[in-house]
Amino acid sequence: MSSESSASSIFPRTDWAGLGRAADADEARLDALIRLYWGPLRIFLVATFPSLKDQADVLLQEFAEDKILKEGWLRRADPNRGKFRDFLKTSLRHFVLDRLNRADARHAPVSLEELQQELPGPAGPSDEFDLTWVRAVLAETLRRMEADCRDPASDQPRRGFIWEMFRIRLIDPLLNDAPQTPYDELIERFGIKSPTDASNLLLSGKRIFKMHLARVIKEYAEQDAATAAEIQELENFVSRLAKRS
């Protein structure tokens, strides 16, 4: 399984019929979450346990099935006791350690010693995980924003222009190093009547982006307060990283 796999469930071996009906909603949501954040999890696993690189996808699959989908796992991710991302990392780390311990008990004690040597430093893998996490969050946010703006059923006039303006003005120059499109070209392209009109188009884009960002994060951060805190935390994290680079 790789981060590119997103078309279908990442849990093809899961016995969905065997799961309790009450848990169905949780399971489906977790399935989607893990699919979305498979990339960051894989990076964290490989960075934390380099010798397990070749088994990373299998281990993640097992982690998802044995740990995450286990009833009640998500409920233990108490927003008051820390971030969901940290809870996920700790769970994955414990899961792999447990697997290696069990393997160690069955076979030679090599794995455990290797494991002790390769236990991660606090910053490296975690930063890489968080950075990939931010990318995944933003990619999903932009994907949903585009779909929303291009929805032909939308009754908001010029909603497609809102996406195009947001992409041309913010995404392309800031994320793809594209040159800024001159203001005159923007007004011609979108038939903008005045600077106020132009700003409103951009402001609408920012609001739609913000709404989808909050929704994407809320799917794992749960509560509104925790969602706002997580957005702030992600912004602070990339700012800190940007200053260091």
Partner 1 sequence: MSEFNSAAALSKSQPKSLAAFLAAGAERARFWRPEELSAIFRHQMSAPILVDLGGFDPATSVRLKTLSQAQSLLLKSFSDLFHHPVPPLELLSITKDFAKANMDHPESSLPHEVAAALYYASIATALVRLDARISQLKDAELQRGLLWAKDQPWVDDPTREILVEALKKIPPGVPPEGPPL
C-alpha dihedral, 132 to 134 to 135 to 140, nearest 10°: 130
Window of 8-16, 25-33, 92-100, 174-182 that interacts with partner 1 by CB under 8 A: 174-182
* CA separation for the pair 197, 93 (Å, rounded): 51
Query: Site mask, partner 1, residues 95-134, x = CB under 8 A?
Result: ------------------------------------x--x
Closest approach, Cβ 20 to partner 1, in A, equals 34
Of 98 and 197, CB closest to partner 1:
197
Q: In angstroms, how far is CA 93 from the centroid of its own chain?
A: 18
Give whole-number Cα distances, 183 to 40, 71, 172, 178, 192, in Å: 38, 54, 15, 15, 10
Give whole-number Cα distances, 11 to 30, 137, 230, 245, in Å: 10, 21, 27, 37
**Look-up: residue for tokens 């909050």?**
214
Asked if residue 150 binds partner 1 (CB under 8 A), the reply is yes
User: Which of 205, 209, 115 has its CA nearest to residue 164?
Assistant: 205
Q: Which of 34, 146, 217, 227 binds partner 1 (CB under 8 A)?
A: 146
Asked if residue 197 binds partner 1 (CB under 8 A), the reply is yes
* CA separation for the pair 68, 139 (Å, rounded): 23
Of 90 and 180, CB closest to partner 1:
180
Asked if residue 167 binds partner 1 (CB under 8 A), the reply is yes
Q: CB of 137 within 8 A of CB of 216? A: yes
Q: Which of 15, 54, 155, 184 binds partner 1 (CB under 8 A)?
A: 184
Q: Which of 110, 189, 195, 223 binds partner 1 (CB under 8 A)?
A: 195
Residues in contact with partner 1 by CB under 8 A are 131, 134-136, 138-143, 146-147, 150, 167, 170-171, 174-177, 180, 182-184, 187, 192-200, 202-203, 206-207, 209-210, 234-235, 238-239, 241-242, 244-245
